[in-house]
Amino acid sequence: MELLNKIVSKLTQHFQGEVCTGEVLYDFPVITVPSGKVHEVLTFLKNDEELNFHFLTDLTAMQTADEKQLGVIYHLHNMMKNYRVRVKTFMDINKPEVPTATDLWPGANWMERESYDFYGVRFIGHPKLKRILNVDEMDIFPLRKEYPLEDQTRDDKSDKMFGR
């Protein structure tokens, strides 16, 4: 894809080849960057005159299938040229830290809080990183894979109702 090649080329040139890998998934350009460089890459993608990814469409967290890493996914958009890109970064689940993007896009505030609330990703430099949907006293991050999706103590459910 032409856009992906352009993005990877510019990032490789600007960061001397140490930053990213690129691929096309479902006709969507995706770049993966180390968590220590993600803020620099996002800043470059926003401020580059040609790319100009000035809008953060979405930010979310996820956990890898091996349960050893957490990831943050950013969806960026240049509305004038209708460019879109997905930026992914991964970190060890025992140290889930990544710089905040609120200084680049103030709208990242609640999205980062939600990612913290459900996955425990700490966004360093966030102006008020606290839970947004769960109670403050909760000491787990409920969307991590180590927590079951259903309440195992309930006896009022029949498995046949759930297709099992």
Q: At what angle do helices 2-14 and 38-47 cross, to 10 degrees?
A: 120
For 76-116, write each residue's pLDDT tens digit. 999 999 999 999 999 999 999 999 999 999 999 999 999 99
For 33-84, write each residue's pLDDT tens digit. 999 999 999 999 999 999 999 999 999 999 999 999 999 999 999 999 999 9
User: Does some domain include residue 122?
Assistant: yes
* Mean local confidence (pLDDT), 138-155: 80
User: Does some domain include residue 154?
Assistant: no
Residue span of the structural domain in which 78 resides: 2-137
User: Does some domain include residue 160?
Assistant: no
User: Does some domain include residue 142?
Assistant: no
User: Does some domain include residue 10?
Assistant: yes
The structural domain count of the chain equals 1
Cβ atoms of 96 and 63 closer than 8 Å: no
The string of DSSP codes covering 88-138 is: EEEEETTS-EEE-STTT-TTHHHHHHHHHHHH--EEET-TT---SSS-TT-
What is the pLDDT, as a whole number, of residue 163?
A: 59
User: Does some domain include residue 155?
Assistant: no
* Mean local confidence (pLDDT), 111-127: 98
User: Does some domain include residue 37?
Assistant: yes
The CATH number of residue 23's host domain is 3.30.460.80
SS3 content of the chain, % helix, strand, coil (to 5): 25, 25, 50
Q: Across the strands, what pairs with 102?
A: none
User: Does some domain include residue 21?
Assistant: yes
